[in-house]
Amino acid sequence: MGLRDVTLFAIACIIGTRWIPAAAHAGPGSVMLWLLTALLFVIPLAIAVAALIVKYPGAGGLYLWTRGDFGPWHGFLCFWVYWMGLAVWFPSATMFYMSVGLGTVGIVPGRATLLAVSIAAIWVALGTNLLGVKIGKWTENVGGASSWVLGGLLAVVAALVWARRGAATPMHFMPHWNWNTLNFWSTIAYGMSGLELAGLMGAEMHDPERTLPRAGWIASAFATLFYSGATIAMLVLLRPEKISELNGYAEVAQTAGSALGALWLAPLIAVLVLASGIGQIGGIGTAISRLPFAAGVDGLLPKAFARVHPRWGTPHYSILALGVVASFLLIAVQIGDTMRAAYQELVSLMVITGFLPYLYIFGSAWKAGKRVSPICGWAITILAILCSVVPTADIANVWLFESKLAVGTFAAIATAWLVYRRRAA
């Protein structure tokens, strides 16, 4: 993987087009939150990852960093919680992308249909990467390129509509604090994370010490521009209260298509959102499959995880295990809740388990001699975790919501301890 491949890979891992409708729904203040997150989290993360990939070259990323700086148990715990967090990410991401893809072209899927197409999307994205980086990287390349095209398209459409009728939303960029949007603050930070995933692919990069830092800065700058610009574009087209988190793209496409007489806009946006989503699923799936592989090499997981496919050269057992766990969680989280509440629970649990490992990543950066970036990173990490446990207005049963978060977080840590004790004994 050269600079182009790594840059597009990083963009595919960072950019989550599903966060744009949520940001627009929260109002123009989201733009300021995107910029603050870039300054206080993305730049510190880029500095940390650049330093750590030089200190610990090779495949394994945050597992190698944490194990080297804090010991085998902490390395395993960091890997396990991070892996479980992204296993939770898969169901929430596929639910969104498949809902958008179908909803933007006028199809309103039932729960069974949405579950079926979501599971299919998981296995399509992981299947291409099962065949090797040479084939799988094109999933991420297409996904990263689709994000570029989608961002440009939204900007052009918004500019044309603005020229005809002005902006639908007054642009006041100072964030407004209230309990209903506090949970969303954590997803802003989560939406800007993901650069550390590129660090997991160090063994597949050409000259990673030079390539990754350059790709990281390019991808981080694009992510900041994309999120801010796309949020503004949506708010030009519709007022925040008319943009929903799950159906925002369909609502914006319908409004813009009617204003410009462009009926082709909705299906084009649907294709671009789906392509970027599949690219992100594939990129994250292939990156985190290196974590069980590294743990398997150390004997902390069954030997099968340390094997690579004789023909494709991929850690195929790790990829298959991720697909199985993600598919199970996609079905299990539906129990006892509406589909919208289940989606929000997945997002909150994803943020909690996804951000806990950043405490270790920034700790390793501190040990690598960095000072300002770990302090900023720790502050945003803790704030994001606290905000994620605040229920949104969609949650009717607060106790069920909080119980699922508590049980899910405890299960991730407890299973890590049980597996580690058994394998290390």
Q: Tell me what the mean pLDDT of segment 187-204 comes to.
A: 76
Number of independent structural domains in the chain: 1
- The pLDDT score that the predictor gives to residue 60 is 67
Most confident listed range (19-28, 133-142, 230-239, 384-393) = 230-239
- The pLDDT score that the predictor gives to residue 366 is 94
* CA nearest to 245, candidates 36, 125, 394, 364: 394
Q: How far apart are CA 295 and CA 261, in angstroms?
A: 55
Q: What percent of the chain clears pLDDT 70, i.e. is strictly above it?
A: 84
Domain hosting residue 300, numbered range? 3-424
Q: Which two three-digit tokens encode residue 392? A: 């949104």
As separate numbers, helices (DSSP H) first and strands (DSSP E) second, the chain gives 18, 0
Answer yes or no: are the C-beta atoms of 126 and 362 closer than 8 Å: no
Q: Which two three-digit tokens encode residue 377? A: 């990173």
For residue 214, give the CATH number of its domain.
Answer: 1.20.1740.10
* Residues 6 or more apart in contact with residue 302 via CB below 8 angstroms: 296
Q: What percent of the chain clears pLDDT 90, i.e. is strictly above it?
A: 12
In which band, very low, low, confident or very high, does the pLDDT at 158 lie, cut at 50, 70 and 90? very high
- The pLDDT score that the predictor gives to residue 335 is 58
* Model confidence pLDDT, tens digit, residues 78-130: 989 988 887 777 777 787 777 777 766 667 667 777 788 888 877 777 776 66
- The pLDDT score that the predictor gives to residue 330 is 76
Residue 201 pLDDT > 70: no
Answer yes or no: are the C-beta atoms of 368 and 199 closer than 8 Å: no
Average pLDDT, the chain: 80
pTM here is 0.81
Reported in sequence order, the residue ranges of 230-284 that DSSP labels E, i.e. its strands, are: none
* Model confidence pLDDT, tens digit, residues 55-78: 887 666 788 899 989 998 999 999
Q: Tell me what the mean pLDDT of segment 337-341 comes to.
A: 60
* CA nearest to 319, candidates 87, 26, 70: 87
* CA nearest to 384, candidates 413, 345, 356: 356
* Residues 6 or more apart in contact with residue 103 via CB below 8 angstroms: 109, 246, 247, 249, 250
Residue 359 pLDDT > 90: yes
- The pLDDT score that the predictor gives to residue 229 is 92
* Residues 6 or more apart in contact with residue 142 via CB below 8 angstroms: 275, 278, 279
Residue 136 pLDDT > 60: no
Answer yes or no: are the C-beta atoms of 46 and 216 closer than 8 Å: yes
- The pLDDT score that the predictor gives to residue 116 is 82
* Model confidence pLDDT, tens digit, residues 258-274: 888 888 888 888 888 88
Q: How far apart are CA 343 and CA 404, in angstroms?
A: 12
In which band, very low, low, confident or very high, does the pLDDT at 9 lie, cut at 50, 70 and 90? confident
In which band, very low, low, confident or very high, does the pLDDT at 236 lie, cut at 50, 70 and 90? very high
More confident residue, 394 or 378: 378
Q: Tell me what the mean pLDDT of segment 389-406 comes to.
A: 76
- The pLDDT score that the predictor gives to residue 273 is 83
* CA nearest to 283, candidates 214, 207, 195: 195
Question: Crossing angle of helices 133-165/248-260, nearest 10°?
Answer: 50
- The pLDDT score that the predictor gives to residue 74 is 92
